[in-house]
Amino acid sequence: MSLVNPNLEPHWQKHPNYPQDNALGAPDFSLYPCPLRIQTTSPTTFLLLGIASTKETSLPGVSSAHILLRWSIPYGNYEDLFIGTTPMLLNLLARGTYLHHKQIKAAQGIKITAQGLEHAIAGTGLYVVGPDDDLEDIKEAAMEDMKSVLSRIDKSGEGVYVQASTLGSLEALLEFLKSPAVSIPVSGIGIGPVHKKDVMKASVMLEKKKEYATILAFDVKVTPEARELADDMGVKIFIADIIYHLFDQFKAYIDNLKEEKKREAADEAVFPCVLKIMPNCIFNKKDPIVLGVDVLEGIAKDTKAIPVGTPICIPQRDFIDIGRIASIENNHKPVDIAKKGQRVAIKITSTNPEEQQKMFGRHFEMEDELVSHISRKSIDTLKANYRDDLSLDEWKLVVKLKTLFKIQ
Protein backbone atom coordinates (compact mmCIF):
# COMPACT_ATOMS: atom_id res chain seq x y z
CA MET A 1 0.00 0.00 0.00
CA SER A 2 1.50 3.33 -1.07
CA LEU A 3 1.01 6.20 1.35
CA VAL A 4 2.83 8.85 -0.64
CA ASN A 5 1.19 10.12 -3.81
CA PRO A 6 3.83 11.48 -6.22
CA ASN A 7 1.13 13.56 -7.92
CA LEU A 8 0.35 15.61 -4.81
CA GLU A 9 0.38 19.39 -5.08
CA PRO A 10 3.81 21.03 -4.57
CA HIS A 11 2.77 22.25 -1.12
CA TRP A 12 3.54 18.73 0.17
CA GLN A 13 7.06 17.33 0.26
CA LYS A 14 8.30 13.92 1.20
CA HIS A 15 10.47 13.87 4.35
CA PRO A 16 14.13 12.91 3.63
CA ASN A 17 14.13 10.26 6.41
CA TYR A 18 11.16 8.44 4.91
CA PRO A 19 12.20 5.11 3.28
CA GLN A 20 11.98 4.88 -0.50
CA ASP A 21 9.87 1.73 -0.36
CA ASN A 22 7.33 3.44 1.91
CA ALA A 23 7.67 0.67 4.49
CA LEU A 24 6.76 2.10 7.88
CA GLY A 25 8.04 -0.81 9.93
CA ALA A 26 4.85 -2.29 11.35
CA PRO A 27 4.16 -3.34 14.07
CA ASP A 28 5.90 -0.23 15.46
CA PHE A 29 2.92 1.77 14.25
CA SER A 30 -0.60 1.37 15.46
CA LEU A 31 -1.58 3.55 12.47
CA TYR A 32 -0.01 4.35 9.13
CA PRO A 33 0.86 8.05 9.18
CA CYS A 34 1.25 10.28 6.15
CA PRO A 35 4.93 11.23 6.34
CA LEU A 36 4.84 14.65 4.71
CA ARG A 37 6.34 18.03 5.42
CA ILE A 38 3.74 20.78 5.12
CA GLN A 39 4.85 23.90 3.29
CA THR A 40 2.13 26.48 2.76
CA THR A 41 1.73 30.19 2.18
CA SER A 42 1.00 31.51 5.70
CA PRO A 43 4.28 31.23 7.66
CA THR A 44 3.05 33.30 10.62
CA THR A 45 0.17 31.06 11.59
CA PHE A 46 0.16 30.02 15.28
CA LEU A 47 -0.58 26.33 15.80
CA LEU A 48 -1.54 24.58 19.04
CA LEU A 49 -2.01 20.82 19.19
CA GLY A 50 -2.76 18.74 22.27
CA ILE A 51 -0.56 15.66 22.48
CA ALA A 52 -2.49 12.55 23.56
CA SER A 53 0.31 9.97 23.44
CA THR A 54 3.71 9.39 21.86
CA LYS A 55 5.47 6.39 20.33
CA GLU A 56 8.84 5.71 18.74
CA THR A 57 8.80 4.69 15.06
CA SER A 58 11.19 2.75 12.87
CA LEU A 59 12.24 5.95 11.09
CA PRO A 60 15.67 7.21 12.22
CA GLY A 61 15.23 9.95 14.79
CA VAL A 62 11.48 10.17 14.24
CA SER A 63 8.64 9.57 16.69
CA SER A 64 4.88 9.75 16.28
CA ALA A 65 2.15 11.21 18.43
CA HIS A 66 -1.62 11.04 18.56
CA ILE A 67 -2.90 14.59 18.88
CA LEU A 68 -6.18 16.41 19.17
CA LEU A 69 -6.49 19.39 16.85
CA ARG A 70 -7.85 22.38 18.72
CA TRP A 71 -7.77 24.96 15.96
CA SER A 72 -7.69 24.90 12.14
CA ILE A 73 -4.40 24.35 10.34
CA PRO A 74 -4.23 26.77 7.39
CA TYR A 75 -1.27 27.05 5.08
CA GLY A 76 2.04 27.55 6.87
CA ASN A 77 5.63 26.35 7.01
CA TYR A 78 5.89 23.43 9.43
CA GLU A 79 9.37 21.90 9.38
CA ASP A 80 9.70 18.13 9.88
CA LEU A 81 6.01 17.77 10.62
CA PHE A 82 3.93 14.85 9.33
CA ILE A 83 0.15 14.93 9.41
CA GLY A 84 -2.48 12.44 8.28
CA THR A 85 -6.08 11.59 9.15
CA THR A 86 -8.16 8.46 9.03
CA PRO A 87 -11.07 8.43 6.56
CA MET A 88 -14.44 9.43 8.03
CA LEU A 89 -12.84 10.22 11.42
CA LEU A 90 -12.23 6.56 12.19
CA ASN A 91 -10.83 5.55 15.55
CA LEU A 92 -7.15 6.52 15.74
CA LEU A 93 -6.30 3.20 17.31
CA ALA A 94 -7.50 1.20 14.28
CA ARG A 95 -5.24 0.55 11.33
CA GLY A 96 -6.27 2.41 8.22
CA THR A 97 -5.24 4.54 5.30
CA TYR A 98 -4.66 8.25 5.79
CA LEU A 99 -6.01 10.98 3.57
CA HIS A 100 -3.98 14.04 2.61
CA HIS A 101 -5.41 17.48 3.32
CA LYS A 102 -4.43 21.01 2.43
CA GLN A 103 -6.28 22.18 5.52
CA ILE A 104 -7.51 20.50 8.71
CA LYS A 105 -10.36 21.96 10.74
CA ALA A 106 -11.21 21.28 14.36
CA ALA A 107 -12.35 19.08 15.87
CA GLN A 108 -10.98 15.76 14.75
CA GLY A 109 -8.16 13.44 15.62
CA ILE A 110 -5.02 13.42 13.52
CA LYS A 111 -1.59 11.85 13.81
CA ILE A 112 1.64 13.78 13.84
CA THR A 113 5.14 12.41 13.34
CA ALA A 114 8.27 14.47 13.93
CA GLN A 115 11.79 14.31 15.30
CA GLY A 116 12.18 14.54 19.08
CA LEU A 117 8.61 13.60 20.01
CA GLU A 118 9.95 10.88 22.32
CA HIS A 119 10.72 13.74 24.70
CA ALA A 120 7.19 15.17 24.49
CA ILE A 121 4.91 14.96 27.52
CA ALA A 122 1.41 13.65 26.86
CA GLY A 123 -1.21 16.26 27.70
CA THR A 124 0.96 19.31 27.05
CA GLY A 125 0.63 21.77 24.19
CA LEU A 126 2.64 21.53 20.97
CA TYR A 127 3.75 24.90 19.64
CA VAL A 128 5.00 25.79 16.16
CA VAL A 129 7.28 28.81 16.02
CA GLY A 130 6.73 31.22 13.14
CA PRO A 131 9.31 33.66 11.73
CA ASP A 132 7.94 36.53 13.83
CA ASP A 133 7.71 34.55 17.07
CA ASP A 134 10.25 34.70 19.89
CA LEU A 135 11.55 31.18 20.51
CA GLU A 136 12.32 31.80 24.19
CA ASP A 137 8.81 33.16 24.80
CA ILE A 138 7.31 30.07 23.19
CA LYS A 139 9.55 27.81 25.30
CA GLU A 140 8.44 29.60 28.46
CA ALA A 141 4.79 29.26 27.48
CA ALA A 142 5.28 25.55 26.78
CA MET A 143 6.80 25.04 30.25
CA GLU A 144 4.00 26.72 32.20
CA ASP A 145 2.01 23.51 32.65
CA MET A 146 5.06 21.63 33.92
CA LYS A 147 5.98 24.45 36.32
CA SER A 148 2.54 24.14 37.89
CA VAL A 149 3.01 20.41 38.37
CA LEU A 150 6.59 20.64 39.65
CA SER A 151 5.55 23.21 42.25
CA ARG A 152 3.52 20.50 44.01
CA ILE A 153 6.55 18.30 44.73
CA ASP A 154 7.44 18.24 48.43
CA LYS A 155 10.51 20.41 49.05
CA SER A 156 11.68 18.16 51.91
CA GLY A 157 12.48 15.42 49.41
CA GLU A 158 10.24 12.92 51.20
CA GLY A 159 7.14 11.50 49.56
CA VAL A 160 5.71 8.94 47.16
CA TYR A 161 6.52 8.75 43.46
CA VAL A 162 3.55 9.47 41.19
CA GLN A 163 3.13 8.22 37.62
CA ALA A 164 0.20 9.08 35.30
CA SER A 165 -0.75 8.66 31.66
CA THR A 166 -1.05 12.36 30.78
CA LEU A 167 -0.30 15.73 32.28
CA GLY A 168 -3.99 16.26 33.01
CA SER A 169 -4.23 12.95 34.87
CA LEU A 170 -1.08 13.79 36.80
CA GLU A 171 -2.46 17.17 37.84
CA ALA A 172 -5.72 15.58 39.02
CA LEU A 173 -3.86 13.00 41.11
CA LEU A 174 -1.50 15.58 42.62
CA GLU A 175 -4.43 17.81 43.54
CA PHE A 176 -6.13 14.87 45.26
CA LEU A 177 -3.00 13.85 47.19
CA LYS A 178 -2.47 17.44 48.32
CA SER A 179 -6.00 17.83 49.72
CA PRO A 180 -6.22 18.14 53.56
CA ALA A 181 -8.25 14.95 53.86
CA VAL A 182 -5.49 12.94 52.15
CA SER A 183 -2.24 14.90 52.63
CA ILE A 184 0.26 12.51 51.02
CA PRO A 185 3.56 14.20 50.08
CA VAL A 186 5.03 13.65 46.61
CA SER A 187 8.78 13.53 45.99
CA GLY A 188 8.81 12.77 42.27
CA ILE A 189 6.61 12.53 39.18
CA GLY A 190 6.56 10.80 35.81
CA ILE A 191 4.31 10.49 32.78
CA GLY A 192 3.78 7.31 30.79
CA PRO A 193 4.48 3.65 31.60
CA VAL A 194 6.50 2.82 34.71
CA HIS A 195 10.07 1.94 33.72
CA LYS A 196 13.14 0.81 35.68
CA LYS A 197 14.33 4.41 35.98
CA ASP A 198 11.12 5.31 37.83
CA VAL A 199 11.65 2.44 40.27
CA MET A 200 15.20 3.66 40.91
CA LYS A 201 13.92 7.16 41.70
CA ALA A 202 11.28 5.80 44.09
CA SER A 203 13.82 3.53 45.82
CA VAL A 204 15.59 6.58 47.30
CA MET A 205 12.87 6.62 49.97
CA LEU A 206 13.95 3.21 51.27
CA GLU A 207 16.70 4.93 53.24
CA LYS A 208 14.63 7.98 54.21
CA LYS A 209 11.09 6.77 54.87
CA LYS A 210 10.25 3.21 53.91
CA GLU A 211 6.51 3.76 53.61
CA TYR A 212 7.09 6.32 50.87
CA ALA A 213 9.18 3.94 48.73
CA THR A 214 6.10 3.46 46.58
CA ILE A 215 4.89 4.31 43.09
CA LEU A 216 1.27 5.36 42.63
CA ALA A 217 0.62 4.44 38.99
CA PHE A 218 -2.57 6.08 37.73
CA ASP A 219 -3.92 4.68 34.46
CA VAL A 220 -0.51 3.48 33.23
CA LYS A 221 1.17 0.13 32.65
CA VAL A 222 4.24 -1.23 34.41
CA THR A 223 6.97 -2.82 32.30
CA PRO A 224 8.03 -6.35 33.32
CA GLU A 225 11.58 -5.08 33.94
CA ALA A 226 10.29 -2.37 36.27
CA ARG A 227 8.11 -4.85 38.16
CA GLU A 228 11.02 -7.25 38.63
CA LEU A 229 13.33 -4.49 39.86
CA ALA A 230 10.66 -3.18 42.26
CA ASP A 231 10.21 -6.65 43.77
CA ASP A 232 13.97 -7.03 44.21
CA MET A 233 14.44 -3.61 45.81
CA GLY A 234 11.32 -3.60 47.97
CA VAL A 235 9.54 -0.76 46.16
CA LYS A 236 5.75 -1.08 46.20
CA ILE A 237 3.80 -0.29 43.01
CA PHE A 238 0.07 0.39 43.20
CA ILE A 239 -1.93 0.49 39.96
CA ALA A 240 -5.48 1.76 39.39
CA ASP A 241 -7.47 3.67 36.79
CA ILE A 242 -9.55 5.42 39.47
CA ILE A 243 -7.84 7.83 41.86
CA TYR A 244 -9.85 6.76 44.92
CA HIS A 245 -8.95 3.10 44.35
CA LEU A 246 -5.29 4.07 44.19
CA PHE A 247 -5.59 5.94 47.48
CA ASP A 248 -7.40 3.02 49.15
CA GLN A 249 -4.57 0.65 48.17
CA PHE A 250 -1.92 3.00 49.51
CA LYS A 251 -3.83 3.67 52.75
CA ALA A 252 -4.25 -0.06 53.40
CA TYR A 253 -0.51 -0.51 52.85
CA ILE A 254 0.34 2.33 55.28
CA ASP A 255 -2.06 0.98 57.91
CA ASN A 256 -0.45 -2.47 57.70
CA LEU A 257 3.00 -0.92 58.05
CA LYS A 258 1.89 1.01 61.13
CA GLU A 259 0.53 -2.13 62.79
CA GLU A 260 3.74 -3.95 62.00
CA LYS A 261 5.80 -1.15 63.55
CA LYS A 262 3.58 -1.18 66.64
CA ARG A 263 4.18 -4.89 67.12
CA GLU A 264 7.93 -4.42 66.73
CA ALA A 265 8.00 -1.51 69.20
CA ALA A 266 5.58 -2.97 71.75
CA ASP A 267 8.35 -3.99 74.17
CA GLU A 268 9.46 -0.35 74.45
CA ALA A 269 5.98 1.21 74.66
CA VAL A 270 5.03 2.51 78.14
CA PHE A 271 1.64 4.18 78.36
CA PRO A 272 1.24 6.87 81.04
CA CYS A 273 -0.93 6.18 84.07
CA VAL A 274 -1.38 7.22 87.71
CA LEU A 275 -3.12 4.72 90.04
CA LYS A 276 -4.39 5.07 93.62
CA ILE A 277 -4.68 2.04 95.89
CA MET A 278 -8.24 1.45 97.09
CA PRO A 279 -8.81 0.84 100.85
CA ASN A 280 -9.49 -2.73 101.86
CA CYS A 281 -8.50 -3.96 98.40
CA ILE A 282 -5.13 -5.55 99.14
CA PHE A 283 -5.71 -9.08 97.84
CA ASN A 284 -2.09 -10.21 97.85
CA LYS A 285 0.91 -8.33 99.26
CA LYS A 286 3.74 -10.13 97.49
CA ASP A 287 4.71 -12.31 94.52
CA PRO A 288 2.43 -11.40 92.85
CA ILE A 289 1.05 -8.17 94.25
CA VAL A 290 -2.72 -8.00 93.69
CA LEU A 291 -4.46 -4.70 94.42
CA GLY A 292 -7.66 -2.83 93.76
CA VAL A 293 -6.91 0.59 92.25
CA ASP A 294 -8.57 3.74 90.94
CA VAL A 295 -7.20 4.91 87.59
CA LEU A 296 -6.68 8.62 88.34
CA GLU A 297 -5.06 9.48 85.00
CA GLY A 298 -3.93 7.85 81.82
CA ILE A 299 -4.22 4.28 80.65
CA ALA A 300 -2.87 1.05 82.16
CA LYS A 301 -2.17 -1.99 79.98
CA ASP A 302 -1.50 -5.63 80.78
CA THR A 303 0.59 -8.24 78.95
CA LYS A 304 -2.25 -8.94 76.50
CA ALA A 305 -2.29 -5.33 75.33
CA ILE A 306 1.50 -4.97 75.26
CA PRO A 307 3.90 -7.93 75.64
CA VAL A 308 5.51 -6.86 78.91
CA GLY A 309 2.73 -4.85 80.59
CA THR A 310 3.00 -1.35 82.08
CA PRO A 311 6.00 -0.99 84.45
CA ILE A 312 4.96 0.50 87.81
CA CYS A 313 7.08 2.52 90.24
CA ILE A 314 6.55 4.56 93.44
CA PRO A 315 7.81 8.17 93.02
CA GLN A 316 7.38 8.90 96.76
CA ARG A 317 9.75 6.00 97.54
CA ASP A 318 12.70 7.11 95.39
CA PHE A 319 11.01 5.76 92.24
CA ILE A 320 11.33 2.16 93.41
CA ASP A 321 10.12 -0.31 90.74
CA ILE A 322 7.64 -2.85 92.05
CA GLY A 323 7.04 -4.78 88.79
CA ARG A 324 4.82 -4.79 85.71
CA ILE A 325 1.06 -5.14 85.31
CA ALA A 326 0.50 -8.77 84.29
CA SER A 327 -3.32 -8.74 84.22
CA ILE A 328 -6.34 -6.50 84.85
CA GLU A 329 -9.87 -7.36 85.98
CA ASN A 330 -12.96 -5.19 85.88
CA ASN A 331 -16.05 -6.55 87.68
CA HIS A 332 -14.34 -9.94 87.90
CA LYS A 333 -13.82 -10.02 84.12
CA PRO A 334 -10.37 -9.86 82.51
CA VAL A 335 -9.68 -6.78 80.40
CA ASP A 336 -6.61 -5.63 78.48
CA ILE A 337 -6.64 -1.97 79.50
CA ALA A 338 -7.95 0.31 82.23
CA LYS A 339 -8.66 3.98 81.59
CA LYS A 340 -9.19 7.08 83.68
CA GLY A 341 -12.18 6.84 86.05
CA GLN A 342 -12.28 3.05 86.19
CA ARG A 343 -11.84 0.91 89.31
CA VAL A 344 -10.03 -2.32 88.59
CA ALA A 345 -7.97 -5.06 90.19
CA ILE A 346 -4.40 -5.43 88.92
CA LYS A 347 -1.79 -8.14 89.32
CA ILE A 348 1.82 -6.93 89.42
CA THR A 349 4.67 -9.38 88.82
CA SER A 350 8.38 -8.82 89.36
CA THR A 351 10.49 -7.65 86.41
CA ASN A 352 13.60 -9.37 87.76
CA PRO A 353 13.15 -12.68 89.60
CA GLU A 354 16.72 -12.47 90.94
CA GLU A 355 16.00 -9.26 92.85
CA GLN A 356 14.15 -9.07 96.16
CA GLN A 357 10.41 -9.19 95.57
CA LYS A 358 8.69 -5.93 96.51
CA MET A 359 5.99 -6.15 99.15
CA PHE A 360 3.02 -4.03 100.11
CA GLY A 361 3.44 -2.73 103.67
CA ARG A 362 7.23 -2.91 103.48
CA HIS A 363 8.27 -1.11 100.27
CA PHE A 364 5.13 0.99 99.74
CA GLU A 365 1.94 1.89 101.59
CA MET A 366 -1.72 2.69 100.97
CA GLU A 367 -1.14 6.43 100.48
CA ASP A 368 1.51 5.95 97.79
CA GLU A 369 0.51 6.51 94.17
CA LEU A 370 1.47 3.93 91.56
CA VAL A 371 2.90 5.55 88.42
CA SER A 372 3.97 4.08 85.08
CA HIS A 373 7.75 4.28 84.75
CA ILE A 374 8.36 6.10 81.48
CA SER A 375 11.74 6.89 79.88
CA ARG A 376 13.15 8.91 77.00
CA LYS A 377 13.06 5.81 74.82
CA SER A 378 9.46 4.96 75.71
CA ILE A 379 8.33 8.52 74.95
CA ASP A 380 10.03 8.40 71.53
CA THR A 381 8.37 5.04 70.86
CA LEU A 382 4.93 6.47 71.67
CA LYS A 383 5.54 9.45 69.40
CA ALA A 384 6.73 7.32 66.50
CA ASN A 385 4.20 4.49 66.64
CA TYR A 386 1.31 5.28 69.01
CA ARG A 387 0.74 8.99 68.50
CA ASP A 388 -2.91 8.57 67.52
CA ASP A 389 -3.57 5.97 70.23
CA LEU A 390 -3.25 8.53 73.04
CA SER A 391 -5.74 11.29 73.76
CA LEU A 392 -4.73 14.89 74.35
CA ASP A 393 -5.10 14.42 78.13
CA GLU A 394 -2.89 11.34 78.01
CA TRP A 395 -0.20 13.26 76.12
CA LYS A 396 -0.42 15.99 78.75
CA LEU A 397 0.18 13.30 81.37
CA VAL A 398 3.28 12.19 79.44
CA VAL A 399 4.60 15.75 79.69
CA LYS A 400 3.78 15.83 83.41
CA LEU A 401 5.57 12.52 84.08
CA LYS A 402 8.49 13.62 81.93
CA THR A 403 9.02 16.49 84.36
CA LEU A 404 8.53 14.19 87.35
CA PHE A 405 11.19 11.77 86.10
CA LYS A 406 13.45 14.65 84.98
CA ILE A 407 13.64 13.33 81.43
CA GLN A 408 15.41 15.60 78.96
- From residue 172, how far is each of 147, 169, 212, 218, 247 by CA, in Å? 15, 5, 20, 10, 13
Contacts of 197 (CB under 8 A, 6+ apart): none
pTM beyond 0.85, yes or no: no
**Mean pLDDT by 10-residue block, N- to C-terminus, for the chain (408 residues)?**
32 37 32 35 35 45 44 43 40 52 70 69 72 82 71 76 89 88 89 92 91 94 95 94 92 91 87 94 92 92 66 94 92 90 93 80 93 94 91 94 93
What amino acid is encoded at 297 in this protein?
E
User: Which CATH superfamily groups domain 152-264?
Assistant: Translation initiation factor IF- 2, domain 3 (3.40.50.10050)
pLDDT at 346: 94
Half-sphere exposure of 402 (CA within 13 A, CB side): 13
Q: DSSP secondary-structure letter at 64?
A: E
User: Which CATH superfamily groups domain 269-404?
Assistant: Translation factors (2.40.30.10)
Distance, CA of 17 to CA of 64 (rounded, Å): 14
CA-based nearest residue to 81, from 38, 48, 119: 38
12-140 CATH fold: Elongation Factor Tu (Ef-tu); domain 3 (2.40.30)
Listed in order, the ranges of the chain carrying CATH 3.40.50.10050 are: 152-264
- Beta strands 186-191; 160-164: pairing state: parallel
pLDDT at 63: 47
pLDDT at 98: 62
> What does the pLDDT look like over 185-243, one tens digit per residue?
998 888 889 999 999 999 999 988 888 999 999 999 999 999 999 999 999 999 999 99
> What does the pLDDT look like over 60-72, one tens digit per residue?
444 444 444 433 4
pLDDT at 304: 59
